Structure 1
Amino acid sequence: MLRLSSQICKQSVTLQRLAGSTNTIPTVRLQLVTRKMTQQHPKVDFTTSIPIAKKKDKITALGWFLLIIPATTFGLGVWQVKRKIWKEQLIKDLDKQLHMEPVDLPDDLSQLSQMEYRLVKLRGRFLHDKEMLMGPRSLIRPDGGETQGGLFSQRDSGNGYLVITPFQLADRDDIVLVNRGWISRKHTEKETRALGQYQNEVELTAVVRQGETRPQFTPDHKDGQVYLYRDLNRMCKNSGAQPIFLDAVYDPKAPEGSPIGGQTRVTLRNDHLSYLVTWFSLSAATAYLWHRQIVRRIPF
Structure 2
Amino acid sequence: MASLKTAVSYSRRLLTAITHQVTRTLMLFTSGGASTCPDCRSSNLQTSSSAAAGAEKGEDSFLKWFLLLIPATTFGLGTWQVKRRQWKLQLINELHKLTAAAPIPLPLDPHELKTLEYRRVRVRGRYDHSKELYILPRSPVDPEREAREAGRLSSSGERGANVVTPFHCTDLGITILVNRGYVPRQKISPETRMKGQVEGEVDVVGVVRLTEIRKPFVPNNDVERNRWHYRDLEAMSNLTGAEPIFIDADFASTIPGGPIGGQTRVTLRNEHMQYIITWYGLCAATSYMWFAKFIKRI
The TM-score bracket by the shorter chain reads 0.5 to 0.7
Cα separation, 2, equivalents of 1:71 and 1:144:
36
State the superposition RMSD in angstroms. 3.6
| Counterpart in the other structure of 2:236 | 235
2:188 equivalent to 1:188: yes
Conserved? CA contact 2:138–2:159, under 8 Å: yes
Conserved? CA contact 1:251–1:260, under 8 Å: no
Spell out the pairing of 1:1-300 with structure 2 (5 A cutoff): 57=57, 60-61=61-62, 63-140=64-141, 158-172=158-172, 174-224=174-224, 225-251=226-252, 254=255, 256-292=256-292
Cα separation, 1, equivalents of 2:268 and 2:254:
31
Per-residue CA shift, 1:168-188, capped at 9, x if unaligned?
Answer: 333545443210012222322
Conserved? CA contact 2:99–2:120, under 8 Å: yes
Moved more, 273-282 or 88-97: 88-97
| Counterpart in the other structure of 1:24 | none
Cα separation, 1, equivalents of 2:286 and 2:145:
44
Are the structure 2 counterparts of residues 286 and 113 from structure 1 closer, same or farther at C-alpha, using a change threshold of 3 Å? farther
Describe the SS at the equivalent of 1:115.
coil
Are the structure 2 counterparts of residues 65 and 211 from structure 1 closer, same or farther at C-alpha, using a change threshold of 3 Å? farther
Cα separation, 2, equivalents of 1:240 and 1:205:
22
Larger radius of gyration, structure 1 or 2?
1
Describe the SS at the equivalent of 1:251.
helix
Conserved? CA contact 1:208–1:247, under 8 Å: yes
The one-letter code of the counterpart of 1:282 is: L
Moved more, 231-240 or 108-117: 231-240
Conserved? CA contact 2:204–2:253, under 8 Å: no
Deviation at 1:247, TM superposition (A): 0.8
Per-residue CA shift, 1:121-155, capped at 9, x if unaligned?
Answer: 112332333210112222348x9889xxxx999x9
TM-score normalised to structure 1 length: 0.64
Cα separation, 1, equivalents of 2:73 and 2:254:
57
The one-letter code of the counterpart of 2:98 is: Q
Deviation at 1:272, TM superposition (A): 0.6
Aligned residues: 237
Conserved? CA contact 1:192–1:257, under 8 Å: no
Are the structure 2 counterparts of residues 279 and 241 from structure 1 closer, same or farther at C-alpha, using a change threshold of 3 Å? farther
Moved more, 99-108 or 185-194: 185-194
Conserved? CA contact 2:176–2:246, under 8 Å: yes
Conserved? CA contact 2:122–2:203, under 8 Å: yes
The one-letter code of the counterpart of 1:127 is: D
Per-residue CA shift, 1:37-60, capped at 9, x if unaligned?
Answer: xxxxxxxxxxxxxxxxx9994664
Cα separation, 1, equivalents of 2:144 and 2:76:
38
Describe the SS at the equivalent of 1:114.
coil
Deviation at 1:102, TM superposition (A): 1.0
Conserved? CA contact 2:254–2:261, under 8 Å: no
Moved more, 275-284 or 69-78: 275-284
Are the structure 2 counterparts of residues 210 and 292 from structure 1 closer, same or farther at C-alpha, using a change threshold of 3 Å? farther
Deviation at 1:237, TM superposition (A): 4.0
Are the structure 2 counterparts of residues 175 and 64 from structure 1 closer, same or farther at C-alpha, using a change threshold of 3 Å? farther
Per-residue CA shift, 1:81-112, capped at 9, x if unaligned?
Answer: 12212322332332233222111112313323
Per-residue CA shift, 1:181-237, capped at 9, x if unaligned?
Answer: 122223222233334334433321001223444344333334441222334344344
Describe the SS at the equivalent of 2:135.
strand
| Same amino acid, percent of matched pairs | 46
Deviation at 1:293, TM superposition (A): 5.2
